[in-house]
Amino acid sequence: MMDTPNTASTFDVEALRGQFPALQQTVNGKPLVYLDNAATTQKPLCVIDAVNQFYRLDNANIHRGVHALSARATEHYEAAREQIRHSLNAAAVEEIVFVRGTTEAINLVAASFGQRLKAGDEILISALEHHANIVPWHMLRERIGIVLKVIPVTDLGALDLSALPALITSRTRLVAVNHVSNALGTINPVQEICAQAHAHGVPVLVDGAQGLPHGLVDVQAMGCDFYAMSGHKAFGPSGVGALYARRPWLDELPPYQGGGDMIETVCFDAVRYAPPPAKFEAGTPNIEGAIGLKAALAWHAGLDWPSITAYEAQLLAAATAGLKEIPGLRIIGTAACKVPVVSFVIAGCHPHDIGTLLDAMGIAVRTGQHCAMPVLAQLGAPSGTVRASFAFYNNTDEVTALIRAVHRAHALLS
């Protein structure tokens, strides 16, 4: 996914923007320029309609009902699982576990895989991680005394893979890294990391929260053991996502939570768990979320990805070039391989002040540490950055608006 292109894009962004009602509004009297896509993406009409249709016609609980609505809801829910399998190119639909999102997917693995671990076992993460892929492992460290090791990051914000061979030891039990950094936009060489880890018999979890929003994902080609994703980052609803896990792991690992729907038989002396994925899905899930996610991913799978990749590279290049001209502005994260995320600081201006002024001009960016305190501290931005994160529905007028607005904010603040 996401190779740097060298062809001009023929991508029709305006036709695509028309499918997103939220992008058609004004904010503070200005046309909305939505550049907070790494936090959450806007939703196309097909997703809004799918959720609306479910509530209007099909609303019922799944799996347990003999009546028509329950059967319909179950059919839609399981079709959503199949769509996720297809979108991630997993080998089997049983390898897809519904969760609340990436955070819950990683917590599921930490809780469940964590039961196999003992004091001194090592988990290898990277310095580029979102807190969602740091804190669950830290909690295991507190609970059972595992050791957390960290793949270093270069000053450009890329993983330093030369350090990897020395970091994987006979005590390494899992490598957990993100596919794409939310704070800097760096695309990580996850396939290479999987190959190196597997050469030592070590499984790999990939935090894919920022992967699908920028391309097609193929977990088999990547070679990962676990892949975590969030629906809301990939044009679908909030509160729903998926954990992909290779089938042997799902057979082997203990359940994460107990309750209805994840059992085969229950008596007071013993419980027999259902086979995966049900074993990991206790309780009533986010049914409407899954149905919205199905619509989002079916739509996503039909997009012209080679053109989108080229187009996103143009957005990134234009935003980077324009922002770099602003006196005192420093871009944090300049790795060679990036999605269109530009994180920056301006000497003498607090990121929150810049963000507030941009909002007054109709431009939505995120300011702060982006749940990635370690890497921002390392790259000299401990108070955070301003982050403009683009999606393929952003256009070049919005890049121009951002650059002009940051110039104005800088002039007002300095």
Residues forming contacts to ligand PLP in the complex (CB under 6 A) are 38, 101-103, 130, 132-133, 178, 182, 207, 209-210, 230
State which residue, 385 or 395, has the beta carbon closest to ligand PLP. 385
Instruction: Give kind and range of the element (H or E) at residue 359.
Output: helix 351-360
- Given a contact cutoff of 8 angstroms between Cβ atoms, the answer to whether 339 and 312 are in contact is yes
| Strands of 329-331's sheet in order across | 329-331, 341-346, 385-389, 366-368
Annotation marks residue 371 as catalytic: yes
Give 54's DSSP letter. I
Q: How far is the CB of 166 from ligand PLP (least distance, A)?
A: 25
Q: How far apart are CA 105 and CA 332, in angstroms?
A: 28
Q: How far is the CB of 37 from ligand PLP (least distance, A)?
A: 10
Q: How far is the CB of 182 from ligand PLP (least distance, A)?
A: 3
State which residue, 222 or 361, has the beta carbon closest to ligand PLP. 222
State which residue, 106 or 287, has the beta carbon closest to ligand PLP. 106
Q: Which residues pair with residue 226 across a beta bridge?
A: 205, 245
Buried b (16+ CB within 10 A) or exposed e, 127-146: bbbbebbbbbbeebeeeeeb
Give 340's DSSP letter. S
State which residue, 124 or 409, has the beta carbon closest to ligand PLP. 124
Q: How far is the CB of 210 from ligand PLP (least distance, A)?
A: 5
State which residue, 9 or 102, has the beta carbon closest to ligand PLP. 102
Q: How far apart are CA 67 and CA 70, in angstroms?
A: 6
Q: How far apart are CA 309 and CA 2, in angstroms?
A: 6
| Residues composing the chain | 414
Q: Which residue has the tokens 């007054």?
A: 360
Q: How far apart are CA 283 and CA 261, in angstroms?
A: 6
Q: How far is the CB of 212 from ligand PLP (least distance, A)?
A: 11
Q: How far is the CB of 251 from ligand PLP (least distance, A)?
A: 25
State which residue, 38 or 403, has the beta carbon closest to ligand PLP. 38
**Closest Cα to residue 398, out of 120, 17, 83?**
17
State which residue, 178 or 334, has the beta carbon closest to ligand PLP. 178
Instruction: Give me the DSSP letters along 65-127.
Output: --SHHHHHHHHHHHHHHHHHHHHHT-S-GGGEEEESSHHHHHHHHHHHHGGG--TT-EEEEET
What are the backbone dihedrals phi and psi of residue 96, each rounded to the nearest 5 degrees, phi first? -110, 115
State which residue, 130 or 294, has the beta carbon closest to ligand PLP. 130
End-to-end C-alpha distance for the chain, whole angstroms? 41
Q: How far is the CB of 132 from ligand PLP (least distance, A)?
A: 4
Q: Which of 46, 194, 267, 371 is catalytic?
A: 371
Q: Hey, is 387 helix, strand or coil?
A: strand
Instruction: Give me the DSSP letters along 219-239.
Output: HHHHT-SEEEEEGGGGTS-TT
Q: Which two tokens stand for residue 68?
A: 């028509």
Q: Hey, is 241 helix, strand or coil?
A: strand
Find the residue with minimal CB distance to ligand PLP. Answer: 182
Q: How far is the CB of 6 from ligand PLP (least distance, A)?
A: 28
Annotated catalytic residues are 371
